[in-house]
Amino acid sequence: MSEGVDRAMRVLELLAREPAQLGGVAADLGVHKSTALRLLQTLESGGFARRTDGGWTVGLRLIDLAQQALDSLDVRAVARPHLAALGRDCGHTIHLAQLVDDDLVYVDKIEARGQVRMYSRIGRTAPLHASGVGKAVLAYRPQLTRLVEGGALPAYTPATISDPAALRAELATVAEQGWAADDGEFEPLITCVAAPVRHADGSVTAAVSVTAPTVVATLADLRHLLPQLLATTQQISRDLGWSGP
């Protein structure tokens, strides 16, 4: 790596931590102030650094590039091989759902082997309060409860949780145990277990589920697959940069 590139990277790392004065930048690099100033001015001309009343800090161009890099971490692309492996391992339908604005959308699906195809499809939305993936996301994003508590909670089946207080209790349980279940709450005779996927900052915007008709697997049957499901969502989260427990 050239000396100039190395110095530029060190300056950007320094400015990302906190604003710095010219003297501090020069001292960190071990160079004269005039050399540090030329480097800062070069970074400033490219939008990677900017001068403020508090000294020098990162530029908006660098912030934009960082956001583009984060946006390029497509959960579906990262998750796909893990979903396929889970599908091969358990034999049931695997779903990946992700928040798109305020909607939870199925963004990937691995079909079960030799079973009746699920009605679910990529691009279809999942109800936040009446699906395993919905509750697995909702439990970790309390700000979204306004979406399901602002009015009546639609009862899709007799098993749907349509009372706000009961839903809050259910979400507390989900958050505590780390997984959610749907036992015929959205579609009769369809059951699933689901677990959240975390991003590098620990936030939850997606979830993975293992789903089957109850004639094929009951909720009790699917609960036996929780170790494989949780191992899958943990690995996806690791690949997205999460380093928590």
Compute CA 140 distance to the chain's CA centroid, rounded to the nearest angstrom. 11
- List, as one string, the DSSP characters of 9-56: HHHHHHHHHS-B-HHHHHHHHTS-HHHHHHHHHHHHHTTSEEEETTEE
98's CB contacts (< 8 A; 6+ apart) are: 75, 76, 104, 105, 107, 205, 206
H or E stretch covering 230 = helix 226-239
CB-hemisphere CA count at 13 Å for 198?
A: 18
| Encoded tokens for 159 | 């098993």
Rounded alpha-carbon distances, angstroms, from residue 23 to 29, 31, 104, 131, 244: 10, 10, 50, 57, 37
Residues 55-101 pLDDT 10s: 899 888 887 777 666 555 578 889 999 999 999 999 999 999 998 88
- Give the per-residue pLDDT at 149: 64
- Measured CA to CA, the distance from residue 175 to residue 183 in angstroms comes to 18
Residues 111-160 pLDDT 10s: 987 655 666 678 888 999 999 999 999 999 877 767 666 667 889 999 99
Kindly list the structural domains of the chain, giving each domain's residue range(s) and its CATH number in brackets, ordered by start: 3-69 (1.10.10.10), 73-239 (3.30.450.40)
H or E stretch covering 90 = helix 75-90
Number of H helices, E strands in the chain: 10, 8
- Give the per-residue pLDDT at 73: 53
- Give the per-residue pLDDT at 62: 83
Residues 13-64 pLDDT 10s: 888 888 889 999 899 989 999 999 999 999 999 999 999 887 899 888 887 7
Side chain identity at residue 95, one-letter code: H
